[in-house]
Structure 1
Amino acid sequence: MSARDLRSARDLREWTVAQVRSAMTTAMRTDPNALDALAESNVGTLDPYSQSFLRTGRMLTLATSAALTTVLTPHRYGRDPRDRLVCLACGIDRCRTVRTISDVLTAYALHAHPVDRPEAWRRADAWYAETAGRPVMLAIEPFDEGFVARPAAPPPEAPDNVLVIDRNNGVLTLWPAYDTDTLASQYHHYKRGTL
């Protein structure tokens, strides 16, 4: 398998895991009482199956996401005893399990982003608080592939840097404090291995 194919296989796994996490995060943020109230307020207008789904859909999504996470966890890429890059669960270079789950998620048009602006702020806030040892005021700027977290007063530990939070997987990387357009371009090349 070429380095490009391996990157594609890893990217597919990363995307698949991100979609499962996104579904789980969305379900966790949903208020079950609001769903129950919605089901109650629509008695007589909704069929029994739709009402039942409103009441159980959140837990079903959480359970399904947890089950898929359990399946995907061992299906990651690493080196086998012969130093080949393979799926560590399958022992092959293109994991059929990841491909199948990805195909199902794509078929049902699941293209949610696991990281939104509040989640980007939460992750950046935690990183800066740990790095600086205190809370740091942040501005969060979105771009296509992520978010830039700019500290109002950069901590001495990262004086000329900003944090980039990946929109699809939540990974944090430290970058020079370029303007957002330059960062977006640089990050695009970095993600594709062309930087």
Structure 2
Amino acid sequence: MRPAAWTHHQVHQRVHAAMTAAMRADAHAIEGVLGQDDRLDPYSRRFAVDARRLVLACTAALTCVMAAHRPGDDPHGREICRGCGTPDCRTLHGVSDVLAAYAVRPAAVDRAEAWRRAELHFAAGSGPVPLVVEEFPDGFAVRRALDIGDDPSPLLVVDRETGALSRWPLVPFDVLVREYKRYREGR
């Protein structure tokens, strides 16, 4: 049995992945391409055109379910699902199983997404920041293109699987790659 917080986190990651994929899709481009294609029957065409909106609606509904079935503690300090009052939430396990069966997983972060996340982090609302992005197997090392000399952790690593951000000191690239791998493995 997995703790309620772990199950909630897994469902959240999968729902967020589906929502992000739908939000990135261009509904007008899809409709434009499908409107010119006579190979699809009208029902399939309509479904494809509406798919983005349907996915967004379903993920929003699942977000409401997750808000009700979130982890908390019982009066004795044991972790439970707040919606069910039990340590093992059947609702979230069911949602998790369905999403896993249909291969809904968090999408790997690509270079463009790593750049976007790093720019938001470094800019902190002040506008665009020139960046240098270096890719490695577990993620992306990002630093400002213009040297900020007094920053003790000038490197930002964007995790390829989760998109999580972590700050690192300026070290040779091969050392960063090795140390980040150890960091991810919990060593």
- Give me the TM-score of the superposition, normalised by structure 1: 0.77
- In structure 2, the CA distance between the partners of 1:184 and 1:104, relative to structure 1 (3 Å rule), is same
Amino acid in the other structure paired with 2:63: T
Q: Judge which range, 29-38 or 86-95, deviates more.
A: 86-95
Deviations 1:57-81 (Å, cap 9, x if unpaired)? Answer: 1100111111111211343333333
Shift of 1:128: 0.9
Amino acid at match of 1:35: I
- Please name the residue that 1:171 is paired with: 164
2:180 to 177, 184, 195: 184
Match of 1:158 in 2: 151
User: 2:71 — aligned with what?
Assistant: 77
Query: What does residue 37 of structure 1 align with?
Result: 32
How many equivalent residue pairs? Answer: 184
Aligned to 2:95: 101
User: Structure 1 regions of 5+ residues with no counterpart?
Assistant: none
Q: How high is the TM-score relative to the length of structure 2?
A: 0.80
| Pair 1:30–1:108, CA change in 2 (3 A) | same
Identify if the C-alpha distance between structure 1 residues 73 and 115 changes in structure 2 by more than 3 Å, giving closer, same or farther.
farther
Q: State the distance in 1 between where 2:116 and 2:15 align.
A: 20
After TM superposition, give the deviation of residue 104 of structure 1 in Å.
Answer: 0.5
- 1:113 offset after TM fit, Å? 0.8
Pairs within 5 Å for 1:1-195: 5-6=2-3, 10-43=5-38, 45-113=39-107, 115-130=109-124, 135-155=128-148, 158-178=151-171, 179=173, 180-189=176-185, 194-195=186-187
- Residue deviations 1:110-152 (CA, integer Å, cap 9, x gap): 2341643322222211111129x56432233444554332333
**1:188 is matched by which residue type in structure 2?**
R
Distance 1:77 1:154 in 2: 43
Following the alignment from structure 1 to structure 2, what is the Cα–Cα distance between the partners of residues 27 and 169? Answer: 18
RMSD over equivalenced CA pairs, Å: 2.8
Q: Which stretch shows the higher mean deviation, 53-62 or 162-171?
A: 162-171
| Structure 2 gap segments, 5+ residues each | none
